[in-house]
Structure 1
Amino acid sequence: MKYTLLLLCIALSMGPTYSQPKYKNPKLSVEERTQDLVSRMTLEEKVGQLLCPLGWEMYEKQGNKVTQSKKFENIVKERQIGMLWATFRADPWTQKTLENGLNPTLAAEAGNALQKYIIENTRLGIPIFLAEECPHGHMAIGTTVFPTAIGQAATWNPELLTKMSSTIAQEARLQGSHIGYGPVLDLAREPRWSRTEETYGEDPILIARMGEAFVKGFGSGDLTKENSLISTLKHFVAYGVPEGGHNGNPNSVGMRDLRENYLPPFQAAVKAGALSVMTAYNSIDGIPCTSYEYLLKDVLRKEWGFNGFTVSDLGSIEGLKGSHHVVENIQDAAILSANAGLDVDLGGNAFFLLIDAVKNNKIKESVINEAVSHVLRLKFAMGLFENPYVDVKQVAKNVRNQEHIDLARKVAQESVTLLKNDDNILPLNKDIKKIAIIGPNADNIYNQLGDYTAPQERDNIKTVLDGIKSKLSTAQIEYVKGTAIRDTTNLEIQQAVAAAKNADVAIIVVGGSSARDFKTKYIDTGAAVASKDNISDMESGEGYDRASLDLMGKQLDLLKAVKATGTPIILVYIEGRPLNMNWADENADALLTAWYPGQEGGNAIADILFGDYTPAGRLPISVPRSVGQLPVYYNQRNPKSHDYVEMTQAPLYPFGFGLSYTSFEYNNLVIRKVNNTRYTAEFTITNTGNFDGDEVAQLYIRDEVASTVRPVKQLKHFSRINLKKGESKTVSFELSENDFTIIDQQMKRIVEPGKFKIMIGSSSEDIKLEDVINIETI
């Protein structure tokens, strides 16, 4: 008895014998915690962390109460999942509407419920990652909807993009999200391709600058920051140049082209702090991107030092069998992609088969260990083990608040691009007697929001008609739709003609649409299926590739009929790709493109039409005259293209082009040498017009002689500058070694001695100042 009491006393004096696992100790390093947790996990638990199933079926909503669903409970039990994708998503594919979907507050409650269940009902209590689509706003009900990426790029304003993406990150994190899919860094040189709207255009420098800015707004990879969001870069790589414009089709991009044009935007975004990279559906020179070891390991991790995780696009692992036919079954597809360096399975059905593959010695468990470590490190770095829940009370006042709405208007204003303005018909006088507002996109909320947009309350969206109504009296306005985008029934062309005859000017809003509807069919990846039996407005957006770029339906008939009245025409294109503008260029008195301008697009367009904002958007992609010209990007390699029998080789509107209500002069170019590969280009811009406004100064370089074929010119720097009327500013661009490098015949990145022409202007074709520098022997 005494001996027992002695032992008890000794034990009590030594304190508690239980110590919590290392992975639960926040004082230890992320690496220590990760290694400890992986060492405790079963194979099934490890593979579970690599699965990212679809999330919108994982909650149940009853009135104003939301909880986890039985499906979620079952999948947690059966697969011990580590992520969910698109939990808060609402659109026709998910069958989530304003009625049965989640408002921001309920979304936060749903996220907390899912998090609580998985922590309390799994052996190790690992928090779940919630990934959401965030390219131009969090794709959820009640969030702020910004212009799509092609419009964001038209601002040529990286600083503004950082403010925008920071707002998107805040709204997503407040609702419980941790990963934001975006930015899309595909180089778009095939406008027939359905996803052009999701890109920053045709130029690698512009894409890189915009991508960096977007990632910075997500927190630059510092997951300890409040409202930081893991940025998932899409789509790795060379996805935007598919053969025939068919989404997901192969391409034959060469290794030099890949390294000079397609990879640099991704590298810049990784350097800026992106911690997730999504593989593309396509193959490159016969190798599917989802199983391309050279890209996923040698380039991404070894060369660039990427320390986040890679993720498949939805169903792209299965696509190794079903689309590319490089394996016989889905398990082999999972093995091939995992060995190549793919970490996470979006969809979650292919990698589940890795459990059996490891047990049967078809793949090493060390491959699984490495992949799961990439994921768990970020969960620890984000502090999810200590703070897995969000404050529901903060959501309503901080999602889509007035500050965010104002920012959406600002981005839309800066994106609208004026392409023609004969006799300075714009801006319009608000004292105008009568305006006819006509066209399928004049008062259609979803046609201006773009793909990857959730349903929104009508009052949240401002169309062109709404915007003009805010500036004029009802008596000054007559609205007629005229026609739809694609449907050729229910025409109101004669009514539109009558309205135009009665008006001093006709504002006609045409173009395209990525608006999904509940009649459209969708494949498992969420891409829409084009069908002659289902005529919606949708002619752009994922899956809607085009054979031509012409206006669809009876839109051109509408334009011609209104033109015949003799009433001046102001034509506005709302579009997801550069559509045919040949008739507009010849016949419209003024022409603008607003791309898909988001929820405040109508207000922004009205601001420009009536002179409350001076347009300064610039084209991030060339506008072709014909699909027969394609590809028609400005920085093609030498030799310069020659004219066709039928037409010029030049695009209708070149890259970087955009007009203003004011005018600018460029003077006093001075190029100073800092050292052999560093120069400063300094010049003066003066606003010589009658309006305050922005100018977008652009610096291009031409390598006069090189050992490999170079572009005819290449954008290297740009800056959007605000100038009051009569004001002058000095602009300075710093040229560094990277601006002069080429990839030589041995695939080495070098600077060769020789002459370089420095060109500065307001577009790729409107060069105002130029000089030549000579780089001496390196």
Structure 2
Amino acid sequence: MMLTIKSTNNPRLFLLLVVAITTVFVSAQKKTLPYKDAALPVEARVQDLLSRMTLKEKVGQLLCPLGWEMYVIQGNRVQPSDKFKQLIKDRNAGMLWATYRADPWTKKTLANGLTPALAAKAGNALQKYVIENTRLGIPLFLAEEAPHGHMAIGTTVFPTGIGMAATWSPDLLQKAGRIIGEEIRSQGAHISYGPVLDLTRDPRWSRVEETFGEDPVLSGILGASMVQGLTNGGDLSLPHSTVATLKHFLAYAVPESGQNGNQAVVGMRELHESFLPPFQRAIDAGALSVMTSYNSIDGIPCTANSYLLTELLRNEWQFKGFVVSDLYSIEGIHENHYVASSVDEAAVQALTAGVDIDLGGDAYIKLCQSVEDHRIAEVAIDTAVRRVLQLKFAMGLFENPYVDSQKAVESVRNAAHIDCARQMAQASVTLLKNKASILPLDKNIRKVAVVGPNADNRYNMLGDYTAPQEDKNVKTVLDGVVSKLTSSKVEYVRGCAIRDTTMNEINEAVAAALRSDVVIAVVGGSSARDFKTTYKETGAAVTDKEQLSDMECGEGFDRASLSLLGRQQELLEALQKTGKPLIVIYIEGRPLNKNWAAEHANALLTAYYPGQEGGLAIADVLFGDYNPAGRLPISTPRSVGQLPVHYNKKAPLVHNYVEMPATPLYSFGYGLSYTTFEYADLRIVSKENDTKEVSFNITNTGKYDGEEVAQLYLRDEFASVVQPLKQLKQFKRLFLKRGETKSVRFTLTKEDFMIIDRNFKRVVEPGSFQVMVGASSDDIKLTTQILYP
């Protein structure tokens, strides 16, 4: 047979024609449809499959409905639900979200939810149904929440994002990411929603706990490390690789008034200087999915922002993955922002802007009609579908859609994963005050009073986006203290609740304190969801006086103040009046007010939400089995009246308020150790390619082995646009035995000296720079000036 291919002015079209025709001939010989032929290149398989799809089938690949109602458990078997079968028949959905999720919103519990083995069987059953009961047999993508562990029953629960960030340890985050990826893939899911790279400068906002804090460099480095773990180094063909989804694009964590979803008042230059770099670094590390945010910037909803999603993400950054909306955020273009007169129009706006996937799946179903009405071209849908199919082929789902349920049991929450959770929790505990070196405590102590609403509350250790837990799987502070001593040496009284003022055991707590040698008071907040709380369709909580739970943080729980709620402050003051040494521990999702504790407590620590092993990790620190080295990833304010109070504010220098200093109570990068460190011998040497090697020595001058987190800050002294007074550029967490000296070396590259100039170009402006090295942003030990380049 003779075949003539006419030339065309479109080289890409010509190439695709050649590939398509070639693959048809090759596959015809093998009697295999080209898109099912694993020997062919991914691009050829995608093109062949796309050419066979109807418009309805294409749109189906862009839908990601809620997944937890799509299965039915029948003893040890799991079957597709009738709702799932109808969904596939009516909508051809190519993706599901939160199929394995369990929490009060989904009403999936330990009794009726999926164990790891059942989850694997559920994923297999859904895949089998789709492959065998649809015309083209395209496997499903299953997307799962995974900000600090897979949000499913039986999985490993790590500290929340802000706690992870307090470790300042890229190695630990990469290790945790790999574990989370393994647990997700072994149960048959493919997409991990996380990490959360929102740069947060307002602790009133409800979702601070999910983020890596206030700094773009720390967030970017830790986010990239997490992505490297989740993606197994970026190779989707490996068995435990996931498609990492970065949340939320963009400036979601600085809402006006601290209220979730409100507009972000931030300038274009600030977006490029601070809010975009963490995402770019994580994309460079291998992230292949980005989620939009609910907010708007300068009047444009982020789910309909073509500049962010197409011009910048696609054209400038060359992002090759797909963009997914946040849950029902496409509907929000119409229903919340009022920039579209209907959901149909909102769907067109979102797709045109660059949103590929509709999380929720109710908006994009209308795209078929929009194509028929010529409001959008089918080629725009083809572009989005191509991005989804490319990743399905790259992950090998057409060849290996199923998993082994027994391997899921062995791979999820095993001993090695639990050990990593404890390491992460240990590394996150941050010592803020240690008067007269009261810590570490002597294990020969006679009696300890453990008091407070967070001393023995398992769910308050875990944070939001966490599945139901068996009691034995979560260790509280009380568990940890008892493990170091004996139960006869420990007396526990709750004292009060987080929010409920009717719960009052303060007198009993005081009595216990008087019988003890030291008091450990565990206070703070809670993101523990319960069945008393009502939830919006997006999963955010509805807060009102009729629904009073302990929860004061987590999505939807924005705060007007940062004070301790309920009778917690009353409890602390009563305990302090006993005259017994008082150790205060904050379990929290945001930096709560610590002014009183900073002044009156003998020791003060924060552990954020430390995860399932948090109680043991805190006890390790209290009794000296682990020397604390956590550092603040977000500044602790003195008052909400200061906000924002992040360390890297731009010039000019702040001046004090009438009532208080303008500085934070505890600044970014701060944290104490049981030992002391001395910095010396700062040297800077010019290297090739305009790099500068900065080196210095650190000596452990105290009585304990321990870790230090060395931090390097830079200041551009004179620039064409206003610059931060200091900006973190490099950091390193390192271990030193007592008396040991180590040399630390950082390399500053051209990128570290760049600014966004008046023309919005990234440039280096030659001039004088101040190099600052120290233990925190407000504890600079060594400084010098250099000229660059």
Would you call these one fold, judging by a TM-score over 0.5?
Answer: yes
Match of 1:642 in 2: 655
- Write the distance in 2 (CA, Å) between the matches of 1:230 and 1:361: 33
- Write the distance in 2 (CA, Å) between the matches of 1:347 and 1:217: 27
Task: Report the alpha carbon displacement of residue 61 of structure 1 after superposing the two structures with TM.
Answer: 1.1
Matched, 1:513 2:492: no
The structure-2 alpha-carbon separation of the partners of 1:342 and 1:529, relative to structure 1 and needing over 3 Å to count, comes to same
Match of 1:340 in 2: 353
Mapped contact 2:27–2:33 kept (Cα < 8 A) = no
Mapped contact 1:220–1:274 kept (Cα < 8 A) = no
RMSD of equivalent CA atoms: 1.1
- Write the distance in 1 (CA, Å) between the matches of 2:86 and 2:527: 35
Match of 2:505 in 1: 492
Pairwise mapping of residues 672-687 of structure 1 onto structure 2 (< 5 A)? 672-675=685-688, 677-687=690-700
- Match for residue 661 of structure 1 among 663, 674, 679: 674
Match of 2:776 in 1: 763
Mapped contact 2:27–2:37 kept (Cα < 8 A) = no
Q: Over residues 158-188 of structure 1, what are the superposed CA-to-partner deviations in whole Å (9 max), with x where a residue is unaligned? A: 0110000100000010000100000000000
Match of 2:15 in 1: none
Matched, 1:746 2:746: no
Paired residue type of 2:518: V
- Write the distance in 2 (CA, Å) between the matches of 1:315 and 1:531: 23
Paired residue type of 2:472: D
- Write the distance in 2 (CA, Å) between the matches of 1:23 and 1:474: 64
Task: Report the alpha carbon displacement of residue 18 of structure 1 after superposing the two structures with TM.
Answer: 7.8
- Write the distance in 1 (CA, Å) between the matches of 2:277 and 2:84: 39
Match of 1:378 in 2: 391
Q: Over residues 541-585 of structure 1, what are the superposed CA-to-partner deviations in whole Å (9 max), with x where a residue is unaligned? A: 000000000000000000011111111100000000000000000
Matched, 1:418 2:431: yes
Task: Report the alpha carbon displacement of residue 221 of structure 1 after superposing the two structures with TM.
Answer: 2.9
Pairwise mapping of residues 417-456 of structure 1 onto structure 2 (< 5 A)? 417-456=430-469
Mapped contact 1:91–1:97 kept (Cα < 8 A) = yes
Paired residue type of 1:512: G
- Write the distance in 2 (CA, Å) between the matches of 1:437 and 1:50: 52
- Write the distance in 2 (CA, Å) between the matches of 1:640 and 1:197: 29
Task: Report the alpha carbon displacement of residue 642 of structure 1 after superposing the two structures with TM.
Answer: 0.6
Mapped contact 1:256–1:747 kept (Cα < 8 A) = yes
- Write the distance in 2 (CA, Å) between the matches of 1:16 and 1:750: 54
Q: Over residues 211-245 of structure 1, what are the superposed CA-to-partner deviations in whole Å (9 max), with x where a residue is unaligned? A: 00000001233101220000000000100100000
Mapped contact 1:509–1:572 kept (Cα < 8 A) = yes
Match of 2:49 in 1: 37
Match of 1:245 in 2: 258
Q: With structure 2 as the length reference, what TM-score do the two structures score?
A: 0.96
- Write the distance in 2 (CA, Å) between the matches of 1:568 and 1:17: 82
Matched, 1:160 2:175: no
What secondary structure sits across from 1:317 in the alignment?
helix
Q: Which runs of 5+ in 1 are unaligned?
A: 1-13
Match of 1:575 in 2: 588
- Write the distance in 1 (CA, Å) between the matches of 2:508 and 2:161: 35
Match of 2:21 in 1: none
Match of 2:492 in 1: 479
Mapped contact 2:463–2:527 kept (Cα < 8 A) = yes
What secondary structure sits across from 1:543 in the alignment?
coil
Task: Report the alpha carbon displacement of residue 123 of structure 1 after superposing the two structures with TM.
Answer: 0.2
Task: Report the alpha carbon displacement of residue 66 of structure 1 after superposing the two structures with TM.
Answer: 1.4
Matched, 1:27 2:75: no
- Write the distance in 2 (CA, Å) between the matches of 1:594 and 1:436: 19
Q: Which runs of 5+ in 2 are unaligned?
A: 1-25
- Match for residue 181 of structure 2 among 166, 169, 174: 169
Task: Report the alpha carbon displacement of residue 669 of structure 1 after superposing the two structures with TM.
Answer: 0.7
Q: Over residues 370-426 of structure 1, what are the superposed CA-to-partner deviations in whole Å (9 max), with x where a residue is unaligned? A: 000000000000000000000112111221011111100000000000000000000
- Write the distance in 2 (CA, Å) between the matches of 1:62 and 1:580: 49
Matched, 1:316 2:329: yes
Pairwise mapping of residues 267-278 of structure 1 onto structure 2 (< 5 A)? 267-278=280-291
What secondary structure sits across from 2:225 in the alignment?
helix
Pairwise mapping of residues 391-402 of structure 1 onto structure 2 (< 5 A)? 391-402=404-415
- Write the distance in 1 (CA, Å) between the matches of 2:268 and 2:341: 28
Match of 1:4 in 2: none
Matched, 1:203 2:215: yes
Paired residue type of 1:69: S
Task: Report the alpha carbon displacement of residue 676 of structure 1 after superposing the two structures with TM.
Answer: 7.2
Indicate the larger mover: 83-92 or 387-396.
Answer: 387-396
Match of 2:120 in 1: 108
Task: Report the alpha carbon displacement of residue 15 of structure 1 after superposing the two structures with TM.
Answer: 13
What secondary structure sits across from 2:124 in the alignment?
helix
Indicate the larger mover: 387-396 or 650-659.
Answer: 387-396
Mapped contact 1:221–1:275 kept (Cα < 8 A) = no
Pairwise mapping of residues 67-78 of structure 1 onto structure 2 (< 5 A)? 67-78=79-90
Match of 1:80 in 2: 92
What secondary structure sits across from 1:641 in the alignment?
coil
Q: Over residues 614-645 of structure 1, what are the superposed CA-to-partner deviations in whole Å (9 max), with x where a residue is unaligned? A: 00000000000000000000000100111001
- Match for residue 617 of structure 1 among 624, 627, 630: 630
- Write the distance in 2 (CA, Å) between the matches of 1:474 and 1:16: 74
What secondary structure sits across from 1:478 in the alignment?
strand
What secondary structure sits across from 1:400 in the alignment?
coil
Paired residue type of 2:139: P
Q: Over residues 326-381 of structure 1, what are the superposed CA-to-partner deviations in whole Å (9 max), with x where a residue is unaligned? A: 01100000001001111000000000000111111111000000000000000000
Moved over 6 A (4+): 14-18
- Write the distance in 1 (CA, Å) between the matches of 2:27 and 2:746: 65
Match of 1:3 in 2: none
- Write the distance in 2 (CA, Å) between the matches of 1:190 and 1:17: 63
Match of 1:285 in 2: 298
Mapped contact 2:251–2:271 kept (Cα < 8 A) = yes
- Match for residue 184 of structure 1 among 191, 196, 203: 196
Task: Report the alpha carbon displacement of residue 678 of structure 1 after superposing the two structures with TM.
Answer: 1.1
Matched, 1:529 2:542: yes
The structure-2 alpha-carbon separation of the partners of 1:266 and 1:17, relative to structure 1 and needing over 3 Å to count, comes to closer
Q: Over residues 689-743 of structure 1, what are the superposed CA-to-partner deviations in whole Å (9 max), with x where a residue is unaligned? A: 1111100000000111000000010000000000111111100000000000011
What secondary structure sits across from 2:330 in the alignment?
coil
Paired residue type of 2:718: V
Matched, 1:349 2:358: no
Match of 2:599 in 1: 586
Match of 2:307 in 1: 294
Task: Report the alpha carbon displacement of residue 96 of structure 1 after superposing the two structures with TM.
Answer: 0.3
Paired residue type of 1:477: V
What secondary structure sits across from 2:484 in the alignment?
coil
- Match for residue 651 of structure 1 among 659, 664, 686: 664
Matched, 1:598 2:593: no
- Write the distance in 2 (CA, Å) between the matches of 1:126 and 1:619: 46
Task: Report the alpha carbon displacement of residue 17 of structure 1 after superposing the two structures with TM.
Answer: 7.6
Match of 1:11 in 2: none
Identity of aligned residues (%): 63
What secondary structure sits across from 1:507 in the alignment?
strand
The structure-2 alpha-carbon separation of the partners of 1:22 and 1:641, relative to structure 1 and needing over 3 Å to count, comes to same
- Write the distance in 1 (CA, Å) between the matches of 2:131 and 2:311: 36
Mapped contact 1:291–1:337 kept (Cα < 8 A) = yes
- Write the distance in 2 (CA, Å) between the matches of 1:618 and 1:280: 28
Matched, 1:358 2:371: yes
The structure-2 alpha-carbon separation of the partners of 1:742 and 1:475, relative to structure 1 and needing over 3 Å to count, comes to same
What secondary structure sits across from 2:693 in the alignment?
strand
The structure-2 alpha-carbon separation of the partners of 1:100 and 1:750, relative to structure 1 and needing over 3 Å to count, comes to same
Task: Report the alpha carbon displacement of residue 64 of structure 1 after superposing the two structures with TM.
Answer: 2.4
Mapped contact 2:113–2:153 kept (Cα < 8 A) = yes
Mapped contact 1:618–1:658 kept (Cα < 8 A) = yes
Task: Report the alpha carbon displacement of residue 469 of structure 1 after superposing the two structures with TM.
Answer: 1.0
Task: Report the alpha carbon displacement of residue 19 of structure 1 after superposing the two structures with TM.
Answer: 2.4
Match of 1:98 in 2: 110
Q: Over residues 582-618 of structure 1, what are the superposed CA-to-partner deviations in whole Å (9 max), with x where a residue is unaligned? A: 0000110000000000000000000000000000000
What secondary structure sits across from 1:686 in the alignment?
strand
Paired residue type of 2:280: Q
Paired residue type of 1:52: C
